[in-house]
């Protein structure tokens, strides 16, 4: 996993990692003794989205696939793909026509990894073809790329992995929401916990 860090300060102070619940949420605490819950998928999505934006700025976006992915599309999908090809190229996809109704994906965004599953490539491109809001298409592709490789809910993480997601999240531009706007972090303040247990 690449780093999203640059000269910026983290957006929240370092948290103490406690563990994982339901293989979906990371548990941590801050210095004040608040309980912090983090949605591992939403958080990782935010981290990857910021990585992608940084790579786009730096122009280090595309990598060639060792084995190109061949897509068979319907005629109307093929027309659409021809239209948005340059946009996909800006995201790091290298796509060429490969005969009747067939396209060859030779390169993908660096963030997708060198040995990326052909299904992921197929899914991102066909999902993009279904997207009908032209003006937001590029944003939509970025979100799909970020989401597709982010750790899923239901995946058991090691402490190191959990800690690393939280650390990287703290350096992102908007750590409290994922690129789709869902919350990444829910806090129970120490005062709230005291109320729940009638300690106050």
Residues contributing to the site for a copy of itself (CB under 8 A): 18-25, 27, 29, 33-35, 37, 39, 42, 153, 182-183, 186, 190, 193, 196-199
Measured from the CB atom, the residue of 29 and 127 that comes closer to a copy of itself is 29
Residue 188 beta carbon to a copy of itself: minimum distance, rounded to whole angstroms: 9
Exposure class string for 149-161: b at 16+ Cβ within 10 A, else e:
bbbeeeeebeeeb
Measured from the CB atom, the residue of 117 and 174 that comes closer to a copy of itself is 174
Q: ∠71-97-102 over CA atoms, to 5°?
A: 35
Measured from the CB atom, the residue of 35 and 80 that comes closer to a copy of itself is 35
Measured from the CB atom, the residue of 17 and 103 that comes closer to a copy of itself is 17
Residue 143 beta carbon to a copy of itself: minimum distance, rounded to whole angstroms: 16
Residue 43 beta carbon to a copy of itself: minimum distance, rounded to whole angstroms: 10
User: How many Å apart are CA 112 and CA 146, to the nearest integer?
Assistant: 8
């Amino acid at each position: 996993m690449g780093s999203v860090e640059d000269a910026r300060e983290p957006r929240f102070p370092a948290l103490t990692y406690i563990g994982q619940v339901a293989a979906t949420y990371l548990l941590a605490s801050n210095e004040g003794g608040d309980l912090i819950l983090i949605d591992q998928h939403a958080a990782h999505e935010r981290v990857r989205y910021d990585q992608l934006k940084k790579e786009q700025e730096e122009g280090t976006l595309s990598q060639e696939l060792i084995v190109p992915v061949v897509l068979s599309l319907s005629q109307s999908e093929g027309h659409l793909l021809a239209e948005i090809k340059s946009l996909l190229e800006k995201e790091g996809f290298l796509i060429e026509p490969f005969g009747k109704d067939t396209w060859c994906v030779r390169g993908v965004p660096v963030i997708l990894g060198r040995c990326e599953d052909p299904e992921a490539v197929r899914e991102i491109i066909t999902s993009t073809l279904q997207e009908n809001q032209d003006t937001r298409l590029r944003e939509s592709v970025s979100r799909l790329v970020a989401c597709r490789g982010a750790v899923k809910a239901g995946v058991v993480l090691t402490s190191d992995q959990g800690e690393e997601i939280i650390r990287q999240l703290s350096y992102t531009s908007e750590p409290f929401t994922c690129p789709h706007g869902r919350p990444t972090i829910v806090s129970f303040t120490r005062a709230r916990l005291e109320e729940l247990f009638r300690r106050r």
